[in-house]
Amino acid sequence: MSEKMQAIMKTKPAYGAELVEVEVPKPGPGEVLIKVLATSICGTDLHIYEWNEWAQSRIKPPQIMGHEVAGEVVEVGPGVDTLQEGDYISVETHIVCGKCYACKHNRYHVCQNTKIFGVDMNGVFAEYAIVPAKNAWKNPKNMPPEYATLQEPLGNAVDTVLAGPIAGRSTLITGAGPLGLLGIAVAKASGAYPVIVSEPSEFRRELAKKVGADYVINPFEEDPVKAVMDITNGAGVEVFLEFSGAPKALEQGLKATTPGGRVSLLGLFPREVTVDFNNLIIFKALEVHGITGRHLWETWYTVSSLIQSGKLNLDPVITHKYRGFDRFEEAFELMRAGKTGKVVFFPHKG
Ligand SMILES: NC(=O)C1=CN([C@@H]2O[C@H](COP(=O)(O)OP(=O)(O)OC[C@H]3O[C@@H](n4cnc5c(N)ncnc54)[C@H](O)[C@@H]3O)[C@@H](O)[C@H]2O)C=CC1
Ligand SMILES: CC(=O)[C@H](N)C(=O)O
Ligand SMILES: [Zn+2]
Ligand SMILES: [Zn+2]
């Protein structure tokens, strides 16, 4: 007998999504079925919801949205010997080939054939979801689902913040959206000081302070470079972490970084950006990192340990919690308006 479940589905190639009732799927070979305990909205889900150019080129409706998740394995498909019923898991969203040049060099985070869970296939904004077993990450039973679902984006933040030494280092974070806020939490837990955050939204500057930022700056009202120089007695910051994707923030951050400092770039720019390489990077001997995805699986161990240490201040980052999906449109619109940190759904109402 088949069972039904609720799911947020991208039903049409247009703005928005629909709450639909569909059959609970059966896991195929190499797959497990999970009961979704918590699932959170990523900026990528927002792009799919808005149906921007990238989404139009990549998503094939009808498709269940969502990829950040914590869930319990309720059925195991044929050939799966790494998981069993009752396991409590999250999911690495990058499904890598294991065969390409990058994979053969253990650089799975830049696999040339990466498929993305919840982007290139059905995802987890549903009461139950199919997960490829090889991408499951087992959680300790006592980790709250609302934290466990954040591990995937936390992995982006961890790889950005911990791409070089951070303890005791002055740090500038540009952009306090959901990822920048997670970055602040990781930087503070890792001993960065002072953590200076540049963010135009007052709501998000307040969140940044709650997460632990030592100084917050509105870059639309004061010059972040001057503010950083004042705070650091003219030295500039040792570490610049870019989480906004704003070209102006990149320029300001490079100017505010001390010569010989470290720059880690996660934010994605809307277009090509022009940078004065000679004066802002080469003659300053900056160490510059591009950050993408998560190192498999080192980053997951770090994220899990940081959460279990109790040192990550995640509660202020989670601004909205919804039981069930009934109000999903409100959640997406609030996020679009920049009036949220992380938004978490608990699909089962009981
Ligand atoms: N490299 C990767 O693997 C990944 C990159 N990303 C990118 O990371 C970035 C952050 O993601 P979210 O927090 O979800 O995005 P978001 O768009 O919610 O946050 C960006 C924040 O930057 C702020 N901002 C805008 N102009 C600014 C300026 N001039 N100076 C300082 N802050 C400014 C905005 O007010 C906003 O709060 C995005 O660009 C996203 O596309 C996201 C996931 C993975
Ligand atoms: C595409 C995504 O949103 C994903 N979180 C990622 O890390 O690539
Ligand atoms: Zn994502
Ligand atoms: Zn590969």
196 contacts 231 by C-beta, under 8 angstroms? yes
- C-alpha dihedral over 211, 46, 339, 161, to 10 degrees? 20
Q: Residue 94's pLDDT is what?
A: 98
Ligand 2 pocket residues where CB is under 6 Å = 42, 44, 93, 116, 119, 152, 156, 293
Distance from the alpha carbon of residue 39 to the mean position of ligand 3, in angstroms: 11
Amino acid making up residue 164: G
Q: What is the distance between the alpha carbons of residues 137 and 62, in angstroms, rounded to a whole number?
A: 27
**Active-site residue among 47, 289, 295, 348?**
47
Q: What is the distance between the alpha carbons of residues 218 and 200, in angstroms, rounded to a whole number?
A: 5
Q: Nearest C-alpha to atom 5 of ligand 2 is from which residue?
A: 153
Binding-site members are: 42, 67-68, 97, 100, 103, 111, 179, 199, 204, 266-268, 291-292
Q: Read off the pLDDT of residues 112-125 as tens digits, 9 standing for 90 and up.
A: 999 999 999 999 99
Q: Nearest C-alpha to atom 34 of ligand 1 is from which residue?
A: 175
End-to-end CA distance of the chain: 22
Q: Residue 227's pLDDT is what?
A: 98
3-state secondary structure (DSSP) of residue 103: helix
Distance from the alpha carbon of residue 278 to the mean position of ligand 2, in angstroms: 32
Q: What is the distance between the alpha carbons of residues 116 and 292, in angstroms, rounded to a whole number?
A: 13
- CA neighbours within 13 Å on the CB side: how many for 313? 17
Q: What does the block give as tokens for 261?
A: 């400092």
**Active-site residue among 11, 39, 44, 109?**
44
Backbone φ, ψ for residue 89 (5° rounding): -130, 160
Q: Nearest C-alpha to atom 27 of ligand 1 is from which residue?
A: 246
Q: Residue 1's pLDDT is what?
A: 47
Whether the complex's predicted ipTM is more than 0.90 is answered with: yes
Query: Which residues face 289 on adjacent strands?
Result: 264
212 contacts 184 by C-beta, under 8 angstroms? yes
Q: Read off the pLDDT of residues 217-237 as tens digits, 9 standing for 90 and up.
A: 999 999 999 999 999 999 999
341 contacts 317 by C-beta, under 8 angstroms? yes
3-state secondary structure (DSSP) of residue 315: coil
3-state secondary structure (DSSP) of residue 59: coil
Query: Which residues face 88 on adjacent strands?
Result: 72
Amino acid making up residue 237: V
Q: Residue 350's pLDDT is what?
A: 74
Q: What is the CA radius of gyration of the chain?
A: 20
Q: What is the distance between the alpha carbons of residues 264 and 258, in angstroms, rounded to a whole number?
A: 14
Q: Nearest C-alpha to atom 2 of ligand 2 is from which residue?
A: 44
Alpha-helical runs (H) found in the chain: 43-50, 53-58, 101-104, 145-148, 151-161, 178-189, 202-211, 224-231, 247-256, 277, 298-309, 328-336
Short-list 204, 175, 199, 189, CA closest to 264 = 175
Q: What crossing angle do the helices spanning 151-161 and 178-189 adopt, rounded to 10°?
A: 60
Q: What is the distance between the alpha carbons of residues 332 and 184, in angstroms, rounded to a whole number?
A: 23
Sequence-distant (6+) residues with CB within 8 A of 98 are: 108, 111
Q: Residue 309's pLDDT is what?
A: 98
Distance from the alpha carbon of residue 60 to the mean position of ligand 4, in angstroms: 23
Query: Which residues face 265 on adjacent strands?
Result: 242, 290
Ligand 1 pocket residues where CB is under 6 Å = 43, 156, 174-180, 198-201, 204, 219, 243-246, 248-249, 266-268, 291-293, 338
Q: Nearest C-alpha to atom 26 of ligand 1 is from which residue?
A: 246
Residues in the chain where the model's pLDDT stays below 70: 1
Distance from the alpha carbon of residue 230 to the mean position of ligand 3, in angstroms: 36
44 counts as catalytic = yes
Q: Which numbered ligand comes closest to the C-alpha of 208?
A: 1
pTM: 0.98
Q: What does the block give as tokens for 49?
A: 């919801």
Ligand 1 mutation target, pool 41, 114, 241, 244, most atoms within 8 A of CB: 244
Binding-site members for NAD(+) are: 179, 199, 204, 266-268, 291-292
44 contacts 148 by C-beta, under 8 angstroms? no
Q: What is the distance between the alpha carbons of residues 197 and 214, in angstroms, rounded to a whole number?
A: 8
3-state secondary structure (DSSP) of residue 87: coil
